[in-house]
Amino acid sequence: MVYFDKAQVTVNGTGILADSVSIASTNALIPIYSLGKKGMGSQEPDGPIENQISLSYYLDLGREPIFPLLNTIKSITGIYSGITLSIANVTGLRCYLTKYQLVSTPNTLCKVNASFVSFHSLTGSLASRPLGIYPDADFSGRLAMGWTTHPISLTSYQTSPIYNLNYSFNAEWEPIYILGQGDPFEIQFLNGEEEIEIIKDTFKVVQLTGEELVQNSSSAAINTNGNDPLINLYGYKLISDNTLTSPTLNINISGAEILRSNITSEVDNYIRNTIIAKKYF
């Protein structure tokens, strides 16, 4: 038996502060029926074996191994071999990111939920981490949280407050098989999309088809005021020392177009405007 505090989780060899993981192996089968015979004859393969791996972890800005993959995926032009995941000594090779979600809310640490798919067999068996090795533990103030999430600039919360941020990136992959081989010959990136969801206390009226979320305009959902169109996340040490602006994680939200803007009003709460914007690759 391997208890949770002995389960080491790494992404390409880098430890993360995971609080939840799951691995699901699925086998595609169909029942075979034949004329003149009642009941199923057998179950036969009807697609590849897939391994779905999901991770939930706290965002340590000094060692975030998954967010940099987004830029790699967006710029793929040739063959991409995926990454390696290891969970309690069970290893997935050639894992491909299908979803990356980062959530920042007031007064809480930022969490990341990431999902991967692998079309190759997993290796290894459950085992505790080696004694004395704790590569995924770091509490030196590098964890991001709602207090230190700053859209556009360090003072934007004063001029254009945002109460909630939900950023996600989704990717779709297609395995290519050849006759005589069980493993895929190659994995092709088909498409990807980014979605940014924010909550504000002022109503944004969508005025144009293709209107962008971020503009250098007072009427924009997010006004850059001449700054770069970035969501900036800092470690919580910034709270006590505003000179500690490194390391950071910067999400470029330029080019995202508003899909929906809706108002919600209910008893004992302020009127909220939820704005959703998307960008495709």
Q: How far apart are CA 230 and CA 227, in angstroms?
A: 8
pLDDT for residue 134: 53
Q: What is the torsion angle, in degrees rounded to the nearest 10, for the CA atoms of residue 229, residue 57, residue 20 and residue 134?
A: 160
Residue 9: CB atoms within 10 Å:
21
Q: How far apart are CA 167 and CA 164, in angstroms?
A: 10
Task: Return the minimum-mean-pLDDT range out of 37-51, 58-72, 179-193, 201-215.
Answer: 37-51
Q: 160 φ, ψ to 5°?
A: -150, 75
pLDDT at 55 over 90: yes
pLDDT for residue 153: 74
pLDDT for residue 169: 98
pLDDT at 280 over 60: yes
- Residue 272 pairs in a beta bridge with 264
pLDDT for residue 156: 64
Name the percent of the chain lying above pLDDT 70.
92
pLDDT for residue 111: 95
Q: Does residue 11 contact residue 83 with C-beta atoms inside 8 Å?
A: yes
The torsion region of residue 142 among left (phi > 0), alpha (psi -120 to 50) and beta comes to alpha
For 246-254, what is the mean pLDDT?
A: 87
pLDDT digits (tens, 9 = 90+) for 146-200: 988 888 877 666 566 888 999 999 999 999 988 888 788 899 999 999 999 999 9
Tokens at 6, concatenated: 């002995």
pLDDT digits (tens, 9 = 90+) for 83-104: 999 999 899 999 999 999 999 9
Name the percent of the chain lying above pLDDT 90.
44
pLDDT at 244 over 70: no
What pTM did the predictor assign?
Answer: 0.89
Based on C-alpha coordinates, what's the Rg of the chain?
Answer: 22
- Which range in 103-112, 197-206, 247-256 is most confidently predicted, on average pLDDT? 103-112
Residue whose token pair is 């459950």: 126
pLDDT for residue 119: 92
Average pLDDT score, the chain: 87
Q: How far apart are CA 152 and CA 228, in angstroms?
A: 6
pLDDT for residue 151: 84
Task: Return the minimum-mean-pLDDT range out of 12-26, 100-114, 133-147.
Answer: 133-147
For 58-84, what is the mean pLDDT?
A: 91
